[in-house]
């Protein structure tokens, strides 16, 4: 069968460096850090006392107050960004068939705020079960795609992908495949996460995964730097409207870029550590290139997983050099987690958006906070340190890797008819 072409016609973002798509892009291109002391709970006794929080967020500005109270924060984020993306794409009841519009969303953890609040309240009580009737539907990860479809009346394919930090890239890959296989005309996709709370911070601290640079939070996320000491927890959401090309052209939609390939793989190695030879990361990029029918030389920009951990960064760069060879020195590589922190299951969504905008605008967002070279990285690599760089981006690749060895990559290409 003929595979249909899939384009991006709408975007939405709610991030630690900007609460709209434009604000997010401004933050990226200007190298803004979203890290600051935690405001959502008293973190004074924690090893890490800072995070990349979404700032000045009031859900009732976007959602009815009663409805908002029945949503976990991660679902509120999903609603806000999907609303922005739908508006951006110009989707209306007149130009879509709701039976052919789906929602495929990603989240790594889901309603952790709700779970923590309900269980804490029970533990502090006298043992009498007094749980909210909304506890379970607020907590479960799939409620995000469900609420987006309910809000908009979209009756096409609807589910959530959950693969840790690869979750929203998996969602984008599934959305891409469903459209090109003619299972839907349009899919709202992306991901959201909201885990800046005691449970997540305590859990990641106990794993020694987080930076503990409490004296200087803004520079704590420093991928590829010799003195990196762990990732910075972030929260937020990104939404994309993926659409069949013919459908988009028929309704006169603006087109940001084309999705041309995706790759999936597993490390099959360790619960949390990356494969020491970068095997899974190598395979996932190879699979994405093959799916897109592209050569390594066709890629101009890679938005890396790049979490700022001592183990993860070298393995990813090793994988890049495995796949791209000498062309790796011609590619711009950057980690936007240096600015946004790590959104866990939402990371792939906002980082794919960064790739789309890099293709659309010809600007590579930087890897900020670099001060000291690490001899583990070849100095011929262009890791886009500290300042955005301008260049034509014909195609960009976004990587996300999750606990459990889950790897997902997506390739974005400049649209040409």
Segment 293-307 shows an average pLDDT of: 98
Instruction: Compute the distance between CA of residue 301 and CA of residue 396 in angstroms, rounded to an integer.
Output: 5
**pLDDT above 90 covers what percent of the chain?**
97
E strand or H helix at 165: none
In the prediction, which pLDDT does 79 show?
A: 98
In the prediction, which pLDDT does 1 show?
A: 74
Active site residue 406: no
Instruction: Compute the distance between CA of residue 165 and CA of residue 156 in angstroms, rounded to an integer.
Output: 25
Segment 85-114 shows an average pLDDT of: 98
At 276, the pLDDT band (50, 70, 90 cuts) reads confident
Instruction: Compute the distance between CA of residue 23 and CA of residue 31 in angstroms, rounded to an integer.
Output: 12
In the prediction, which pLDDT does 234 show?
A: 98
Instruction: Compute the distance between CA of residue 157 and CA of residue 231 in angstroms, rounded to an integer.
Output: 34
- The 8-class DSSP code of residue 75 comes to H
Segment 190-212 shows an average pLDDT of: 98
Cα 403 to the chain's mean position, in Å?
A: 15
Look over the chain and give the mean of its residue pLDDT values, rounded to a whole number.
97
User: 275, 305, 370, 406: which one is catalytic?
Assistant: 305
Segment 179-205 shows an average pLDDT of: 98
* Per-residue model confidence as pLDDT tens digits over 150-184: 999 999 999 999 999 999 999 999 999 999 999 99
In the prediction, which pLDDT does 25 show?
A: 98
- Strands 395-402 and 301-303, by their bridges, are parallel
In the prediction, which pLDDT does 126 show?
A: 92
Cβ atoms < 10 Å from Cβ of 175:
31
Active site residue 390: no
Closest residue by Cα to residue 230 from 249, 214, 246, 250: 214
Segment 318-340 shows an average pLDDT of: 98
In the prediction, which pLDDT does 269 show?
A: 95
Alpha helices in 263-417 (DSSP H): 279-292, 312-324, 337-340, 347-361
In the prediction, which pLDDT does 277 show?
A: 87
Interacting residues of 231 by C-beta distance below 8 A, sequence separation 6+: 209, 210, 211, 221, 307, 308, 309, 337, 341, 342
Indicate whether 24 pLDDT > 90: yes
In the prediction, which pLDDT does 175 show?
A: 98
Active site residue 342: yes
E strand or H helix at 22: helix 21-29
User: 52, 113, 165, 247: which one is catalytic?
Assistant: 165
Segment 133-158 shows an average pLDDT of: 98
Between the alpha carbon of residue 40 and those of residues 13, 120, 207, 235, 355, the distances in Å are 21, 16, 22, 12, 30
* Per-residue model confidence as pLDDT tens digits over 357-378: 999 999 999 999 999 999 999 9
Predicted TM-score of the model (pTM): 0.98
In the prediction, which pLDDT does 373 show?
A: 97
Alpha helices in 90-142 (DSSP H): 112-124, 135-139
User: 275, 342, 370, 406: which one is catalytic?
Assistant: 342
Instruction: Give the residues across from 243 on adjacent strands.
Output: 7, 186
């Amino acid at each position: 069968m003929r595979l249909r072409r899939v384009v991006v016609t709408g975007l939405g973002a709610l991030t630690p460096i900007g609460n709209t798509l434009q604000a997010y892009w401004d933050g990226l291109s200007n190298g803004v850090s979203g890290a600051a002391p935690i405001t959502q709970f008293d973190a004074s006794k924690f090893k890490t006392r800072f995070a990349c929080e979404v700032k000045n967020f009031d859900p009732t500005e976007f959602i009815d107050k009663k409805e908002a109270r029945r949503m976990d924060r991660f679902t509120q984020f999903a609603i806000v960004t999907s609303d922005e993306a739908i508006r951006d794409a110009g989707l209306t009841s007149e130009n879509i068939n709701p039976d052919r519009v789906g929602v495929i969303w990603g989240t790594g953890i889901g309603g952790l705020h709700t779970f923590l609040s309900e269980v804490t309240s029970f533990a502090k009580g006298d043992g009498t079960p007094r749980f909210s009737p909304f506890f379970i539907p607020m907590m479960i990860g799939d409620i995000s795609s469900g609420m987006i479809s309910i809000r908009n009346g979209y009756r096409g394919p609807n589910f959530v992908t959950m693969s840790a930090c690869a979750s929203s890239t998996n969602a984008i890959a599934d959305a891409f495949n469903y459209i090109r296989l003619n299972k839907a005309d349009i899919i709202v996709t992306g991901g959201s996460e909201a885990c800046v709370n005691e449970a997540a911070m305590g859990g990641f601290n106990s794993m020694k995964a987080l930076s503990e640079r409490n004296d200087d939070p803004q520079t704590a996320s420093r991928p590829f730097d010799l003195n990196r000491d762990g990732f910075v927890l972030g929260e937020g959401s990104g939404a994309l409207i993926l659409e069949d090309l013919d459908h988009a052209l028929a309704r006169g939609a603006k087109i940001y870029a084309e999705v041309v390939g995706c790759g999936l793989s597993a490390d099959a190695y360790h619960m949390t550590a990356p494969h020491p030879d970068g095997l899974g990361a190598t395979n996932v990029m190879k699979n994405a290139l093959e799916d897109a029918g592209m050569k390594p030389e066709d890629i101009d920009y890679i938005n890396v997983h790049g979490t700022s951990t001592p183990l993860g960064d070298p393995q990813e760069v090793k994988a890049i050099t495995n796949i791209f060879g000498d062309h790796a020195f011609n590619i711009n590589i950057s980690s936007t987690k240096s600015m946004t922190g790590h959104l866990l299951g939402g990371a792939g969504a906002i980082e794919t958006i960064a790739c789309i905008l890099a293709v659309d605008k010809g600007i590579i967002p930087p890897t900020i906070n670099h001060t000291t070279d690490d001899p583990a990285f070849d100095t011929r690599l262009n890791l886009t340190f500290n300042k955005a760089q301008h260049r034509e981006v014909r195609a960009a690749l976004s990587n996300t890797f999750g606990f459990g060895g889950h790897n997902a990559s997506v390739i974005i290409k400049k649209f040409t008819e």
